Amino acid sequence: MKIAIVLGTRPEIIKMSPIIRECERLNLDYFILHSGQHYSYQMDKVFFDQLKLPNFKYNLDVGSGSHGEQTGTLLSRIEKVLIKEEPDVVLVQGDTNTVLAGTLTASKLKIPVGHVEAGLRSFDRGMPEEINRVVADHLSEFLFAPTNISKDLLVHEGIPEDKIFITGNTVVDALFQNLKLSQDKAEILEKFGLNKKEYFLVTLHRQENVDCPKRLKSISNSLSKINNSFGFDLIFPIHPRTRKCLEKHGICLDGTKCIEPLDYLSFLFLQSQARLILTDSGSVQEEACILKVPCVTLRENTERPETIKVGSNVLAGTLPENILEMTSKMIKVTPDWTNPFGDGQSGNRIMEILISKFQ
């Protein structure tokens, strides 16, 4: 069995890292194809270095661009690599344009696709990610669903059950494997003048929020009100896309410490020590849940309903009064929920399934 691991963004690198480590441990024939969708050192290469992962064999260097431009370029470049390498299976993770292009290309070349983190749904087709994950699921041969909820959604859409495998989420593996390493980054609190459990961590990057001036302004006003109401520091490792949109529309983030994007271990440590997290990221919702940190999601929907069900997360939308209300609610929550995303052995399960299918 020859495996192509296709990735291109920070969350994909993190969530694929347990699978890469399993391939190394089992001495399997595999290679990493990096799309270059995240292309700066702080958003990309630093994660390979810190996680001590083998380097990618290919970097397609696609960079930024419109959805059509980026996906079209990826289709062409991924196709060349897959034709040359002739893998037996292509693994993708999540819901990015890299996932969409990797799945489409492999399917047209009649190469089976394994979708890691299959079955997530926000039921909002206005989100590009929702379209990507639906297409990936319906074209994949192996659907690695993290929970029973995600499996049930796939079955409801007519996907045969024999293609679906409940494996847990590899984000748990990654956190368990790297949380101790993150303790070496404790000095970051002193660097930014923070105390444990006395600050709120903010992330914001989704297109529907940052590309809409009205929503972006509303969220920025909310952050200012939160700072005034609760007195906690707000620390915001700002995504390049978000910074660009803030500058374009002349929006200021009063009461918020905006810093450059962080390496994985530093960000993981900041997450683990935060009093509360405000985010529009799906991965951060999961990580907050696993780390026992209350989360307020700055969206109207989530493809991680498990976090809502266990009480680690609430949906606040983007209106200041709602965000303030949900923040007030979650700051009082006792973090005694049970992690719904598995036991940290997802990478092992996924590789066992693939090995059994290709023997």
Q: Name the residues annotated as catalytic.
A: 205
**Cα–Cα separations (whole angstroms), residue 313 to 50, 129, 321:** 29, 20, 17
Characterize 6-17 residue by residue with b for buried, 16 or more Cβ atoms within 10 angstroms of its Cβ, and e for exposed: bbbbbbbbbbbb
Alpha helices in 10-158, H assignment, sequence order = 10-25, 46-50, 67-85, 97-108, 128-139, 148-156
Edge to edge, the sheet with strand 295-297 lists: 256-259, 233-237, 199-202, 276-279, 295-297, 313-315
Helix (H, G, I), strand (E, B) or coil at 34: strand
Structure tokens at 60: 């397609």
Torsion angle defined by CA atoms of residues 296, 275, 259 and 9, in that order, rounded to the nearest 10 degrees: -50
What is the Cα–Cα distance from 269 to 201, expressed in whole angstroms?
11
Cα gap 115→113, rounded to integer Å? 6
Torsions phi, psi of 306, nearest 5?
-55, -35
Q: Report the Cα 326 to chain-centroid distance in Å.
A: 23
Of 253, 244, 261, the closest CA to residue 222 belongs to 253
Q: Measured between alpha carbons, how far is 195 from 237 in angstroms, rounded to an integer?
A: 17
15, 170 Cβ separation under 8 angstroms: yes
